[in-house]
Each structure stands twice: as structure tokens, then as C-alpha cells.
């Protein structure tokens, strides 16, 4: 079975509820339902927008998935400012981004934190989108694949293959995020292939074969085709270009 592509919008800290409703309506109004036969489509708005965005898609009977950008691994308790997995489940989130480089660099998230989140999410049947990627310094040192594969291993440490099924890995080189500087299709393919090889080492060839590996980092309508043409790139995790319906829809159509 070929892998079904996934196009995921990461809205980051953009869009108030009113703006999020407008954007999701705009996506919905320009969307053709049968596209979802060929590609999975996901948007990850800020927490406060999850329910309103879900309501728009539900009202239009459109099976665009919603996901969170982060989560905390404990079920409930004295963790001021955090959001739990049961809260996300109740809203209908089926995915959650984990270990985005902005969380790692700006908020001190470690590989161990990522692992705990992946563990808790997979147990609750929410698919983690595990973000990995190297800095410019790591790339210049020639250790990109080593670094990225170690992040993948750490994220899935101690997790059973049955639980991990449905997880997604997103390769996002830090130097390409929000910079307009995309990895070349060859650079992205090389690392995504190594990520798949690491998944095969961890969980077996079948698991690696069915698991989606995305590329993220300045993906846009101009470069999406070349990136998706690579054998180990199964879709995108998109920031900037997901904030407008026209460009996001162009990215979705590139998956068809
Ligand atoms: P970008 O962000 O598409 O704006 O580079 C991607 C991401 O950080 O997920």
C-alpha cells in the first residue's frame, strides 16, 4: 500500500478565534471533498481555536483533521498553563505536533520531554507529529543524519511498535524554518530516507514503510512539487504558507 500523503498546516501563534474561523471557512469553501480520498489534510491552530475550527469543518461535513501544536503528558493536576491529552481528545484532535524546533529552542523542550509526550499521545491514540531537524552548525559539521536520527531514536525510546503506529515524523531543518530558504529536494530526501531507515531499525521494515515522513521549512506552492516527488517525502508540515487558504489549498492539491 502506498503511503497516503499528509498536508499539515502549523498555524503557530497566529489567528484569533475570529480570524481562525474566517480562515477555516475560506479553506472549506474552496475545498473539494474527494481530495480527501487521495490525501489527509490537517490544520494545527492555537489551542483556543481548536474547537471553533473543528466546528466549521464539522458543519461543512468536511473531514479535515485538527491537531494541537503541543501537549503535556500528565492527565490532570497542578500544571498551570498546560493542556492535557484528554482535553485534546474531547475536542476531537487526532494529531499533535511534538518537539517543534521553536519549542526546543525557545521553551527548552528536551528529547526526554518529547519522548514522554510521544509515549502519552500514542497510548491515547492521538498521532504525534515528531519534529526533528538540525541547526546550521550541525549541518556544517557534516553530522546532520547522525543528529536527526538520534532525535528520532530518543523520541520513540521505549515505545512499542503497536503503539507507535500512526505516528508521523517531520523533518524540519532549523535553517529552513520561516526563512524562505528551503532544503533542496535532494537534501530533504537524503535525511528523510535516513529517518525511515531509523524507523526500520526501531520498529521493523513494515512499520517504516507505512509511516509518513514529512518535510517542513519554507514549503510553498513554488517548491512543493519537487519536494513531494521525492520517494521518502510523504507530505508537508507548513507554517507561513498555511496561513492563507489559497496557498494552503495549492499545497493540498500538490498531494493529489
Ligand atoms: P515555515 O514553518 O513553513 O513557515 O517555514 C514550518 C514549521 O515550522 O512547521
CA distances from 224 to 102, 235, 243 (A): 22, 9, 16
Residue spans of the domains in the chain: they are 6-254
Distance 205 CA to ligand 1 centre (A): 29
The answer to whether the pTM exceeds 0.85 is: yes
pLDDT for 2 equals 83
- Regions of the chain short of the pLDDT cut 50: none
Kindly state if the Cβ of 134 falls inside 6 Å of ligand 1. Answer: no
User: 1 Cβ partners below 8 Å, 6+ apart?
Assistant: 210
Residues annotated as catalytic (active site), given as ranges: 100, 172
Distance 162 CA to ligand 1 centre (A): 30
Distance 78 CA to ligand 1 centre (A): 32
Angle at 20 between CA 19 and CA 22, to 5 degrees: 65
Homologous superfamily in CATH for domain 6-254: Aldolase class I (3.20.20.70)
Kindly state if the Cβ of 97 falls inside 6 Å of ligand 1. Answer: no
Phi, psi (rounded to 5 degrees) for 224: -65, -40
pLDDT for 139 equals 96
Kindly state if the Cβ of 237 falls inside 6 Å of ligand 1. Answer: yes
- Per residue in 111-134, pLDDT tens? 999 999 999 999 999 999 999 999
Amino acid at each position: 500500500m502506498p503511503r497516503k500523503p499528509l498536508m499539515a498546516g502549523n498555524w503557530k501563534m497566529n489567528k484569533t478565534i475570529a480570524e481562525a474561523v474566517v480562515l477555516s471557512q475560506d479553506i472549506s469553501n474552496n475545498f473539494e471533498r474527494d481530495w480527501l480520498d487521495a490525501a489527509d489534510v490537517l490544520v494545527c491552530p492555537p489551542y483556543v481555536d481548536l474547537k471553533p475550527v473543528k466546528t466549521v469543518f464539522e458543519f461543512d461535513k468536511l473531514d479535515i483533521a485538527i491537531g494541537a501544536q503541543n501537549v503535556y503528558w500528565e492527565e490532570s493536576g497542578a500544571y498551570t498553563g498546560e493542556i492535557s491529552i484528554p482535553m485534546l481528545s474531547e475536542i476531537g484532535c487526532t494529531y499533535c505536533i511534538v518537539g517543534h524546533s521553536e519549542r526546543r529552542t525557545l521553551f527548552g523542550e528536551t528529547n526526554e520531554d518529547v519522548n514522554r509526550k510521544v509515549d502519552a499521545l500514542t497510548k491515547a491514540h492521538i498521532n504525534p507529529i515528531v519534529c526533528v531537524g538540525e541547526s546550521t552548525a550541525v549541518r556544517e559539521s557534516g553530522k546532520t543524519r547522525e543528529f536527526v536520527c538520534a532525535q528520532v531514536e530518543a523520541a520513540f525510546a521505549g515505545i512499542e511498535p503497536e503503539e507507535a503506529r500512526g505516528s508521523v515524523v517531520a523533518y524540519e531543518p532549523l535553517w529552513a524554518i520561516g526563512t524562505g530558504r528551503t532544503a533542496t529536494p535532494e537534501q530533504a530526501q537524503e535525511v528523510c530516507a535516513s529517518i525511515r531507515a531509523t524507523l526500520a531499525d526501531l520498529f521493523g521494515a513494515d512499520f517504516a514503510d507505512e509511516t509518513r515522513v514529512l518535510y517542513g521549512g519554507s514549503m510553498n506552492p513554488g517548491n512543493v512539487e519537487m519536494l513531494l516527488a521525492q520517494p521518502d517525502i510523504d507530505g508537508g508540515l507548513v507554517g507561513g504558507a498555511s496561513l492563507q487558504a489559497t496557498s494552503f489549498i495549492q499545497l493540498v492539491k500538490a498531494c493529489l
